[in-house]
Amino acid sequence: MKNLFLTNNFFIALIIIIVLFVLAYIFPAIMFVPQLLLFAFVCVFIADLILLFNVEKGITAKRNLSEKLSVGDENKIALKLKNFYKFPAKVEVIDEVPIQFQVRDTQFETTVQPLKESSINYTLRPVKRGNYIFNCINVFVTGKLQLAKRKFVFEANRAIPVYPSIIQMHKYELLAFVKQSPELGLKKLRRIGVSSEFEQIKEYAIGNDIRTINWKATARKNQLMVNQYEDEKSQHIYNFLDKGRLMRSPFNEMTLLDYAINTSLVMSNIIIKKQDKIGYLSFNHKVNNFIKPDNKPKQLKLILETLYKEETNFLESNFSKLYAFTRRNIKRRSLLMFYTNFSSLNSMKRQLPYLRLLNKQHLLVVIFFKNAELEHTALTKKAKTLEDIYLNTIAEKFGYEKRQIVKELNKNGIQTILTTPENLNINTINKYLELKGRGMI
């Protein structure tokens, strides 16, 4: 019986019987006691084995999880157990999660009632995209008399891909279309002017812009009526993704590239829902991937599959090749959401001529990152040693340079977002809604 294991109770009982036999050797008059106990122990053990092994399918286990996991999020994993025994089964479950997680605590204990189901829930947070292999679910069932265990093994070698965050995509899709989401930082922006697309005439309500009052309709209805406009649709928007070496910088176990990839997916979904057309471009020393803008349902799947395969490297990003490619292939004025990073003001100034050329032909939004960990150190850690003073000075210098980069870009008429990685989604959505609301796209 290769699936048979002995419990601690078995060994404790066996030790007690051995001790009694030793005592009986010293005192022969009590020899019948250990012999009787040994006979009883063997009978009980056999009975426990019969209870455990007389049911072929004593218990089943199944792992329920999404077909695609989301990078950077807590993904829910559920282990579904069903007990076919006629007694409450005390089970120990060991789930062999993918090696990438380096997790050793996926061991659980529970009791499943006779002919009933039970579930064990836990979460996993992948920090890299790719293919993850879930190995066996090992279930150890303790017999009713608790002298033996029977092992069951289920679902070996199940491959699950880890994609850009689909969880965040659905989360921010909902928040971007509700009227107010102040708890997560999404802003409801006052529209400046109106777009050219007329939607309907409706009754005036408090808060409507009085400039939209339709006086002819008001005269006919004998009450205030206003024109309602809707956002222009089918505008061309691109996510530009810099895959150069600076995007390898880590934050909370993920690279800046992965944060940018997650936000690109979130934005692509929202833009399609807003009925604009979304395109995509990624580059490092050359342009790697280019997807023309569209708002058909298949466009989001195409972008998702492309983002899944994106990787950064140690090469410098070539902004001149990016500009040359954009000039040849993007003829219509578009909104360019450009995810990148700069190490210093001088490094940005080297790329500024190309950014100005892009902004001349399109509406460019440069999105780059604060060094959140350094800033946190500068704000919270009091300088007590020379090393602390040095670290705080460096943190202040980096923060100051980032702010100077924003000023320099704004001075050249370029829209900017300077953000921490964890606030990238919110700040990027707000900027898109702001530009759309102001009619700048």
The amino acid occupying position 191 is R
Residue 178 has what pLDDT? 62
Residue 105 and residue 212 in one domain = no
Residue 85 and residue 156 in one domain = yes
Q: How far apart are alpha carbons 330 and 126 in whole angstroms?
A: 36
Q: Which domain holds residue 377?
A: 166-190+232-437
Residue 112 and residue 259 in one domain = no
Residue 8 and residue 111 in one domain = yes
Residue 212 and residue 281 in one domain = no
C-alpha closest to that of 319 among 297, 347, 294, 300: 347
Residue 120 has what pLDDT? 94
Exposure letters 156-165 (e unless 16+ CB within 10 A, then b) = eeeebebbbb
Contact present, 135 and 156 (Cβ < 8 Å): yes
Residue 295 and residue 310 in one domain = yes
Per-residue pLDDT of the chain (441 residues; tens, 9 = 90+): 678 888 898 999 889 888 888 888 888 877 788 888 889 999 999 998 998 998 888 999 999 999 999 999 999 999 999 999 999 999 999 999 999 998 877 899 999 999 999 999 999 999 999 999 999 999 999 988 889 999 999 988 889 999 999 999 988 887 766 644 544 555 554 444 444 555 677 787 776 777 778 888 888 888 888 876 655 567 899 999 999 999 998 888 899 999 999 999 999 999 999 889 999 999 999 999 999 999 988 999 999 999 999 998 788 899 999 999 999 999 999 999 999 999 889 999 999 999 999 999 999 999 999 876 666 665 566 667 777 777 777 777 778 888 999 999 999 999 999 999 999 999 999 999 888 878 777
Residue 315 and residue 380 in one domain = yes
Give the 3-state DSSP-derived string for 22-77, with helices as H, strands as E and coil as C.
Answer: HHHHHCHHHCHHHHHHHHHHHHHHHHHHHHHHCCCCCEEEEEECCCCEECCCCEEE
DSSP 316: P
Q: How far apart are alpha carbons 304 and 160 in whole angstroms?
A: 16
Residue 249 has what pLDDT? 86
Q: How far apart are alpha carbons 101 and 253 in whole angstroms?
A: 11
Residue 179 has what pLDDT? 47
Residue 29 and residue 128 in one domain = yes
Residue 177 has what pLDDT? 66
C-alpha closest to that of 310 among 236, 364, 369, 258: 258
Residue 90 and residue 176 in one domain = no
Give the DSSP letter string of 138-204: EEEEEPTTSSEEEEEEE--SEEEEEES-HHHHHHHHHHHHSS-BGGGTB--PPPSS--SEEEEEEE-
CATH for 363: 3.40.50.410
Residue 250 and residue 133 in one domain = no
Residue 192 has what pLDDT? 40
C-alpha closest to that of 294 among 239, 241, 235, 240: 235
CATH for 104: 2.60.40.10
Backbone angles phi, psi at 211, to 5 degrees: -70, -15
Residues 6 or more apart whose Cβ sits within 8 Å of residue 202: 225, 226, 228
Residue 251 and residue 357 in one domain = yes
- pTM value is 0.81
What is the total count of domains within the chain? 3
Residue 214 and residue 265 in one domain = no
Residue with tokens 């609301």: 437
